[in-house]
Amino acid sequence: MIILKLGGSIITKKDANKPTVDYDHLQRIAKEIKHAHVSDLIVVHGAGSFGHPFAREYAIGKPLSLKDDFQIKRIGFSLTQSWVKKLNSIVCDALRDVGIPAVSIQPSSFITTYHKRIHKGDIALIKYYVDKGFVPVIYGDVVLDDDPTLQVAVLSGDQIVTYLAKNLLPGRVILGTDVDGVFNKNPQEYQDYYLIKKLSSLQELESWDNNQTVDVTGGMLGKLEELLELAQLGIESEIINAGRKSLIRDALQGKKVRGTVIKK
Ligand code: IPE
């Protein structure tokens, strides 16, 4: 089994001032997935411009301050849930258009968190879909949080990847992002940076201030924390640039591609 994450910054135009799909990337990646002929596959995708702006505006996952805060936040939750569901529907359509039997799985309908970490969520049905030859497509969403000071939280696709991987023990985890992988230093601020081919701890990053990818679910550092947790369990993952042609296809086929492997 392979778990493939498609970052929100690849399938959407993340800096657009309204939810905007990047159809060029999405349709190309759908074809690459089709051509890779993976038998057991789960796709997880991010929210990009369909999620982060709303989650930020309504401070989803931030502690409630006023008593009546929660009514406004409920509306924000509903709105965010609706937009990320629309994106998921578009992703499933793109996959089905190339002949992939995509099925939509909505996290907020069966997962809850405690202080932003998943603690309930029965994924047996996802495995059942895979066993029957479907490709489940699950995504970053808003969910109910059992911490009364939060009530609701943002659940990132990255955390879903970790949760699925821990429970389903896939052979491989691939993260398709908009960067080539992990650099030792922030390439936007330093010149003497290089791509780290293998990463086993956060200490290997120098002067990384995470400026490059700050978002409501933690950007690159958040991603690495999730993946290093997996590495501790012996599950290897790789971060590659899904914006570059054929990399997703090659990685799915098990070819060595430019990127960063996270392993112990
Ligand atoms: C975020 O999901 C979900 C919401 C903002 C509701 P991700 O954190 O996985 O999305 P990307 O990949 O960073 O866009």
Q: Note the pLDDT tens digit of each residue in 50-67.
A: 999 999 999 999 998 876
Greater pLDDT, 202 or 16? 16
Residues 6+ away with beta carbon under 8 Å from 146: 112, 113, 114, 119
pLDDT of residue 208: 59
CA angle at 236 for the pair 233 and 237, rounded to the nearest 5°: 125
pLDDT band for position 6 (cuts 50, 70, 90): very high
Cβ of 226 below 6 Å from ligand 1: no
pLDDT of residue 46: 97
Whether the per-residue pLDDT at 214 is higher than 70: the answer is no
Listed range (48-62, 145-159, 193-207) with the worst mean pLDDT: 193-207
Nearest one of 226, 247, 249, 224 to 117, comparing CA atoms: 226
Averaged pLDDT score across all residues of the chain: 92
Instruction: Report the share of the chain in percent with pLDDT over 90.
Output: 80
Whether the per-residue pLDDT at 102 is higher than 50: the answer is yes
pLDDT of residue 113: 98
Ligand 1 pocket: which of 60, 216, 223, 224 to mutate (most atoms <8 Å of CB)?
Answer: 216
Question: Over the stretch 109-136, which tens digit does the pLDDT of each residue have?
Answer: 999 999 999 999 999 999 999 999 999 9
* Assigned token pair, 133: 């030859």
Cβ of 143 below 6 Å from ligand 1: no
Provide mean pLDDT across the span 10-19.
Answer: 94
Whether the per-residue pLDDT at 233 is higher than 60: the answer is yes
Cβ of 176 below 6 Å from ligand 1: no
Provide mean pLDDT across the span 76-89.
Answer: 98
pLDDT of residue 65: 80
pLDDT band for position 217 (cuts 50, 70, 90): low
pLDDT of residue 91: 99
Q: Which residues is 237 bridged to in the sheet?
A: 173, 262
Cβ of 7 below 6 Å from ligand 1: yes
Q: Which fold has domain 2-170?
A: Carbamate kinase (3.40.1160)
pTM: 0.94
pLDDT of residue 215: 46
Ligand 1 pocket: which of 217, 227, 239 to mutate (most atoms <8 Å of CB)?
Answer: 217
pLDDT of residue 114: 98
Find the 160 Cα to ligand 1 centroid distance in Å.
11
Whether the per-residue pLDDT at 261 is higher than 60: the answer is yes
Find the 192 Cα to ligand 1 centroid distance in Å.
30
Residues 6+ away with beta carbon under 8 Å from 59: 73, 76
Whether the per-residue pLDDT at 78 is higher than 80: the answer is yes
Cβ of 107 below 6 Å from ligand 1: no
Find the 156 Cα to ligand 1 centroid distance in Å.
5
Counting from 1 in the atom list of ligand 1, the atom nearest the Cα of 141 is: 6
Counting from 1 in the atom list of ligand 1, the atom nearest the Cα of 158 is: 9
Find the 252 Cα to ligand 1 centroid distance in Å.
22
Whether the per-residue pLDDT at 187 is higher than 70: the answer is yes
Provide mean pLDDT across the span 199-217.
Answer: 63
Cβ of 46 below 6 Å from ligand 1: yes
